[in-house]
Amino acid sequence: MYEYQKKITWSSLKTGIVITIALAILFGVVFFSGNISSLFTSKFDLVTRISNVQGLRTGAPVWLFGVEVGVVEKITINSSGTYVKISIQQKYLSNIFKNAHTNVMTMGILGDKFVEVYPGDSSNPQISPGDTISGKINIGFEQLLSLSASIMVQLDTTIEKLETLIGSVLNPKGSIGKFISDPSLYNNLNESINSLTKLTRSINYSRGTFSKLIKDTTLYHNLNSVSLEFASLVNQVDQSIQNGSVAGALLNDGAMATDVKETVNSLRSTVELLNNILSDIKANPDKYFKFELF
């Protein structure tokens, strides 16, 4: 009897042990589902400094080029900021460079966080295990809502101002409304253009005084000749005074000589002014010959 009970107890114990081991294996498979191979893969660690981890947790996935390559091992907070230790599979070490950085991203609608590694530029040296790289954060959902609300307020204000402007334009009693709806302004402008066209044609094709004044260069040449003759006369008088000629003898009186010299200087200034005016007329005839319709 005793032996029979002993066999039953031992059999039950073996059954319990087998069931316990099976449950442990099942739990391990479920818990490490998808990561069993990573348990036997060599890894290297990096540290990234992130000002705000936005709810990132230990065990969150680490992505590189959109592929899961590691996990978040540890999150440490100290006086200088938040440091996140990430573990990445060793085979991806050659793809990450010194100017790499990380970013805390949101996965899906539920908002699960993960770390995206941006590998940097291949022109930089390859990163070393244990290095510290910079980290960035994306705009949070709350910040996005706040920004959207601010944009909507500005958009509403702009729309109101635009509606007011359109209303003033469409108002027939306003200046802009009259400008758009009243045809008299267009008619007056059209008549003015036609009158200007006729006047221009009349000037171009007529033989009248005004047309000759604009087209004929005789006036300019005559003025130029007078200026040259006048300048020659002034030079002759000046030389006579300086050489002691007859004109100089007649001007021995000091007061008269002074008056004559001043007169010569005035004449010389007049000649220079006349030459300047002639040059300006030649360069800018429109400045001296203007006409207005109104």
Nearest to 135 by CA among 72, 59, 228: 72
CA distance 226 to 50: 89
Model pLDDT for residues 129-147, shown as the tens digit of each residue: 999 998 887 666 566 667 7
With tokens 């540290």, the residue in question is 47
Given this model, what pLDDT does residue 55 score? 82
**What is the overall mean pLDDT for the chain?**
74
Asked if pLDDT for residue 179 goes beyond 80, the answer is no
Q: What residues contact 54, with CB distance under 8 A and at least 6 apart? A: 104, 106, 113, 137, 140
Q: What is the DSSP string of 199-222?
A: HHHHHHH--SHHHHHHH--HHHHH
Given this model, what pLDDT does residue 125 score? 92
Backbone angles phi, psi at 216, to 5 degrees: -75, 130
Q: Measure Cα distances from 94 to 124, 130, 133 in Å.
A: 12, 14, 16
Backbone angles phi, psi at 85, to 5 degrees: -95, 125
Domain boundaries, the chain: 40-138, 139-165, 171-206, 208-285
Per DSSP (E only), the strands in the chain are: 43-50, 61-64, 67-78, 81-89, 101-107, 112-118, 132-137
CA distance 204 to 213: 12
Distance, first Cα to last Cα, the chain: 138
Are the C-beta atoms of 177 and 186 separated by less than 8 Å?
no
Torsion of CA 218, 221, 227, 233, to 10 degrees: -100
Region of 254 please: left (phi>0), alpha (psi -120 to 50) or beta.
alpha
Asked if pLDDT for residue 33 goes beyond 50, the answer is yes
Task: Kindly report each contact of residues 104-113 with a partner whose C-beta sits within 8 Å and lies 24 or more positions away, as own/partner.
Answer: 104/50, 104/52, 104/53, 104/54, 104/56, 104/135, 104/136, 104/137, 104/138, 105/63, 105/138, 106/54, 106/138, 106/141, 111/55, 111/141, 112/60, 113/53, 113/54, 113/55, 113/56, 113/57, 113/60
Given this model, what pLDDT does residue 66 score? 86
Given this model, what pLDDT does residue 222 score? 64
Asked if pLDDT for residue 160 goes beyond 80, the answer is yes
More confident of the two residues 1 and 147: 147
Q: What is the pTM of this model?
A: 0.41
